[in-house]
Structure 1
Amino acid sequence: MAAVHESVLDAIGGTPLIRLARLGAGIAAPIYAKAEFLNIGGSVKDRAALSMVLAAERDGLLKPGGTIIEATSGNTGIGLAIVGRQRGYRVIAGVADKSSAEKSDILRAYGAEVVLAPTAVPAEDPRHLFNVVQRLAEEIPGAWLANQYDNLANPDAHIRTTGPEIWEQTGGRVTHFVAGVGTGGTITGTGGFLKETSGGAVTVVGADPESSTYGGGDGSPWYVESIGHYLHPDTVEDRMPQALRTELIDSYERIPDREALLAARRLSREEGLLAGPSSGAAVAAALRVARRLGPDDLVVVVLPDSGRSYLSKVHSDAWMREWGFLEEAADGLRPLLDAAAPLVTVAADATVGEALEALGDAPGGVAPAVLARAARPYGVAATEVVGSVSRAALAAALADGAAKPGDPLGGLIGPALPTVGVGQSAADARTVLGKTHRAVMVLVDGRVAGVLPREAVA
């Protein structure tokens, strides 16, 4: 008989384990997914939201008529909106501008006020999402900043609920626990409980975007929301979340964006589980782990949120092609890209002379201008391109005395070049070029893989 609840808050938790029989076919170790998207707000963050609000009330930090404020990629804000509105609070969610539009729409539907702010700026920048919500918390009387990254009530939710549920559901047979690492709350709380209860027998594995600093990446942007640790090249002090206990994580599986996104799509099409991209990253990691194990092992992986929040992204064929994650079309740009000259980029903080020297090899005499020190081991993410630099424009500025070789590029940086995914066609490239652009950037897995001049796609 289905459970009956007196409040929507009583329906948080108690999510099922579902075996990934199709994705795990041929693998000796069984893989079970903890379907956290079946929480009332659609994500694992409902647990942390309820835990943090109740703790703030107990500690006198949140009082009747107060305001809950949080910086969020979306899911924690949704959980706080549900819990907060049920308990009579105003809720303001500062949402990262890279988050899917669906999440902001959901937040508003639950009665939260949404403030969009960037995260792809240095941590010290006053425009940064965390600084924006901090100012709001200081300015609004009776406001409480949830601060999920440093709030220990976040992992405590999983010590009390998620970990015990998994232990009971597997009859204590779980040997490996796999989860994405964002704030660290889920993997710290659940992993910590499972390790302690099993006497250290459970192995905890973090699923991390390939370029995230948690697993040893360079901190450059990725396209799987809600997990990983980004490091802007101009950030002075990089802080780790206090909710994360790294000593509890035995190893990381570093998952490229394409592997994560395609795994999320397989989850929906093969297992009937419409989950988000961070679920794809976690499942990709779990599959890697399980292939190294035997039939006496049992892997549990967390599926953090629903794919309904990403219908315009990972579950959209058009979006996947535009960002270079799908290239199954026979008329794609891969042959043209392979034949193109090596990619040339110019650092936005270069001098005019340095830029001219770099542009000597640039197709079409134009190159993307990228964030300072953005020469990353994994290439330049499209989101790190801040404009374009033209050889003709720089030469003209030198000729008429408007600039000198030692001057910074500054106002000589022009608009960014248009982009096209490697799986799109030459006709698509011509469309985005329009009548004015000299060249187009070709994206592979969300990163600039090359520049094609207009004549190459004519």
Structure 2
Amino acid sequence: MDVHESLLELIGDTPLVRLRTPGDDHSARLYAKLEYLSVGGSVKDRIALRMIEDAERRGLLKPGGTVVEASSGNTGVGLALVAAAKGYRAVIVIPDKTSAEKAATLRALGAEVVVRPGMLPIDHPDQVVNTATRLAAEIPGGWMAAQYDNPANPEAHYATTGPEIWQQTEGRITHLVCCVGTGGTISGTGRYLKEVSGGGVRVIGADPDSSVYSGGDGRPYFVEAAGRWRHPETPEDCWPASFHQEVVDEILPVTDRESIMTIRRTARESGLLVGGSAGTALAAARRVAAGLGPDDLVVAVLPDSGKQYLSKYFDDGWLLRLGFLDGDPATVRVADALTDGERARPLPYLHRHRTVGEALAELRAREAAGAEPVLPAGPAPVGPSRRPTAPELVGAVRLVELDEAVAAGRVGPDQSLDEQLGAPLPQFGGGESAEQALATLRSAPDATAVVLHDGHAVGLVTEEQLRAALGRP
């Protein structure tokens, strides 16, 4: 009978499908490795099985034990699935930016989900990895999978993904394109393909453009399960041991917008519904293939399904709110209320660890200049032109509230501003309707809002500016 004794036998062995674009008869052939067709829905099924079986062999995970991991979702789903099949308990710690679909999938598989803020420096006790490490130590029989540093992560791909691609392409592959997250997929798969081809396969990483892997400043980005961000208050960032940098020949940066628009277009033109990191890989792979000839063969690994992101990358409302969609040009949009100079200048915002006295001086200067005496607050900027992302603006500082706190003796001018942050300012995507934004600001405590473009804060807009853009007195 053509049957399987366990769903664990359905992990991996995913197909390759050719992606065609106009004019590709004269460029390299491009194939996609559809990892979302693995039983658990992502490339992380492979490492989940390998890490758990390795822990069993070494006596680290015993019957009745608990699998613990920090994950943006996919590794957690893979671990929860394998744990369920093998009779283990699973506790998965996820950042709060993880899609609702992933969190729901984890719970459906019986995992206990612990949510922690994603915007914490690496040495903070509540950071996701630190939380998972602590839970693994506290839970009797707990075992921390530690995907970022577990050798079984890249070894899973060396043993399975690499050989599958080599066999499926009959050894004709010339270029491999993978996202870099933990680094396990590109390291294990790339090492195998380089060895079996005698160094003939070129290995290329695809990375969010602000990720430190591709030389970015580490600011947050909106593509899940790829890249590496660095909190500006993290003193030292050690890259994962699962990422073998010597295997990778080149890393190509890809913007969030390009990744997102790539998967939306791919779904409508090719019927492939894939996730954001797959868009990063596809965008880079198309770039690579365009510069090659018909004798070359490019394989892009697509990590997971778009079904996990229907509330994000495929939701026009979500994209419009963050400024990834430009809105209707026939209407007055929020961005139309900003002048060219305002768009070009870095967003004025306060570092949350500045002193109260410094904040008061800046707010009074704004008031004297005729601007609203309120500013968003966030972490320290990495550079003078850095634009913070929407999640980084964790609060706002208002002159009236700060003056009252000083007058009442609750805070002194030399104290940190961090404890005095008020509610964040409203945020609007640049493509949103100016009419609707104005209606929101009328009922808001401040007459000022943050304007977003591609998830980054690009300026402040006031009720007065919106009225002017709409031609209202």
After superposing the two structures, state which structure 1 stretch, 289-298 or 317-326, moved more.
Answer: 289-298
Of the three residues 429, 440, 451, the one matched with 1:442 is 451
What is the alpha-carbon distance in structure 1 between the residues aligned to residue 141 and residue 415 of structure 2?
50
What is the alpha-carbon distance in structure 2 between the residues aligned to residue 401 and residue 97 of structure 1?
35
Q: Does 1:39 align with 2:38?
A: yes
After superposing the two structures, state which structure 1 stretch, 256-265 or 331-340, moved more.
Answer: 331-340
C-alpha spacing 1:144/1:201, structure 2 compared with 1 (3 Å)? same
Q: CA deviation at 1:24?
A: 7.5
Which residue does 1:355 correspond to in 2? 359
Q: Aligned ranges for residues 114-263 of structure 1 at < 5 Å?
A: 114-263=113-262
Q: CA deviation at 1:454?
A: 1.5
Name structure 2 gaps, 5 residues minimum.
468-473
C-alpha spacing 1:376/1:277, structure 2 compared with 1 (3 Å)? farther
Q: CA deviation at 1:164?
A: 0.7
Q: CA deviation at 1:222?
A: 0.5
Counterpart secondary structure, 2:323: coil
Counterpart secondary structure, 1:62: coil
Q: CA deviation at 1:30?
A: 1.4
TM-score (norm: length of structure 2)? 0.92
What is the alpha-carbon distance in structure 2 between the residues aligned to residue 281 and residue 51 of structure 1?
26
Q: CA deviation at 1:225?
A: 0.4
Which residue does 1:311 correspond to in 2? 310
8 Å CA contact retained: 2:70, 2:93: yes
Q: CA deviation at 1:395?
A: 5.2
Q: Does 1:456 align with 2:465?
A: yes
Deviations 1:326-373 (A, max 9, x none): 114122223223457443111112223432444435842322111134
> What code does the residue aligned with 2:293 have?
G
C-alpha spacing 1:388/1:51, structure 2 compared with 1 (3 Å)? same
Q: Does 1:287 align with 2:286?
A: yes
After superposing the two structures, state which structure 1 stretch, 133-142 or 26-35, moved more.
Answer: 26-35
Q: Aligned ranges for residues 17-28 of structure 1 at < 5 Å?
A: 17-22=16-21, 25=24, 28=27
Which residue does 2:378 correspond to in 1? 370
Deviations 1:415-452 (A, max 9, x none): 11010111111123124322422211111011101110
Q: Does 1:13 align with 2:21?
A: no
What is the alpha-carbon distance in structure 2 between the residues aligned to residue 189 and residue 106 of structure 1?
27
What is the alpha-carbon distance in structure 1 between the residues aligned to residue 296 and residue 440 of structure 2?
51
Q: Does 1:75 align with 2:83?
A: no
8 Å CA contact retained: 2:338, 2:465: no
Q: CA deviation at 1:100?
A: 0.4
Counterpart secondary structure, 2:258: helix
Q: Does 1:423 align with 2:431?
A: yes
What is the alpha-carbon distance in structure 2 between the residues aligned to residue 26 and residue 355 of structure 1?
60
Which residue does 2:471 correspond to in 1? none
Deviations 1:103-154 (A, max 9, x none): 0100111111111112321111111111111111111111111111111111
What is the alpha-carbon distance in structure 1 between the residues aligned to residue 175 and residue 93 of structure 2?
35
8 Å CA contact retained: 2:217, 2:382: no
C-alpha spacing 1:120/1:27, structure 2 compared with 1 (3 Å)? farther
Which residue does 1:265 correspond to in 2? 264
C-alpha spacing 1:10/1:377, structure 2 compared with 1 (3 Å)? farther
What is the alpha-carbon distance in structure 2 between the residues aligned to residue 135 and residue 450 of structure 1?
40
8 Å CA contact retained: 1:344, 1:358: no
What is the alpha-carbon distance in structure 2 between the residues aligned to residue 295 and residue 25 of structure 1?
8
> What code does the residue aligned with 2:163 have?
P
What is the alpha-carbon distance in structure 2 between the residues aligned to residue 23 and residue 270 of structure 1?
12
Name structure 1 gaps, 5 residues minimum.
none
8 Å CA contact retained: 2:66, 2:88: yes
Counterpart secondary structure, 1:80: helix
Deviations 1:310-335 (A, max 9, x none): 00000101101011101141222232
Counterpart secondary structure, 1:364: coil
After superposing the two structures, state which structure 1 stretch, 376-385 or 43-52, moved more.
Answer: 376-385
Q: Does 1:386 align with 2:390?
A: no
What is the alpha-carbon distance in structure 1 between the residues aligned to residue 143 and residue 22 of structure 2?
43
What is the alpha-carbon distance in structure 2 between the residues aligned to residue 57 and residue 404 of structure 1?
56
8 Å CA contact retained: 1:374, 1:384: no
What is the alpha-carbon distance in structure 2 between the residues aligned to residue 24 and residue 84 of structure 1?
46
Q: CA deviation at 1:407?
A: 4.3
TM-score (norm: length of structure 1)? 0.95
Deviations 1:291-317 (A, max 9, x none): 221111111001100011100000101
Which residue does 2:337 correspond to in 1? 336
What is the alpha-carbon distance in structure 1 between the residues aligned to residue 316 and residue 447 of structure 2?
27
C-alpha spacing 1:401/1:149, structure 2 compared with 1 (3 Å)? closer
What is the alpha-carbon distance in structure 2 between the residues aligned to residue 23 and residue 257 of structure 1?
24
C-alpha spacing 1:409/1:117, structure 2 compared with 1 (3 Å)? closer
Which residue does 1:56 correspond to in 2? 55
Counterpart secondary structure, 1:214: helix
What is the alpha-carbon distance in structure 2 between the residues aligned to residue 277 and residue 369 of structure 1?
28
> What code does the residue aligned with 2:171 have?
G
C-alpha spacing 1:311/1:3, structure 2 compared with 1 (3 Å)? farther
Q: Does 1:414 align with 2:460?
A: no
Deviations 1:29-68 (A, max 9, x none): 1111000000111100001111111111111111111111
Q: Aligned ranges for residues 393-408 of structure 1 at < 5 Å?
A: 393-394=401-402, 405-408=413-416
8 Å CA contact retained: 1:69, 1:93: yes
What is the alpha-carbon distance in structure 2 between the residues aligned to residue 394 and residue 81 of structure 1?
47
What is the alpha-carbon distance in structure 1 between the residues aligned to residue 160 and residue 384 of structure 2?
40
Q: CA deviation at 1:217?
A: 0.9
Counterpart secondary structure, 1:33: strand
| Paired positions, count | 457
Counterpart secondary structure, 2:17: strand
C-alpha spacing 1:307/1:3, structure 2 compared with 1 (3 Å)? farther
Across the aligned residues of Structure 1 and Structure 2, the Cα RMSD in angstroms comes to 2.1
> What code does the residue aligned with 2:391 have?
T
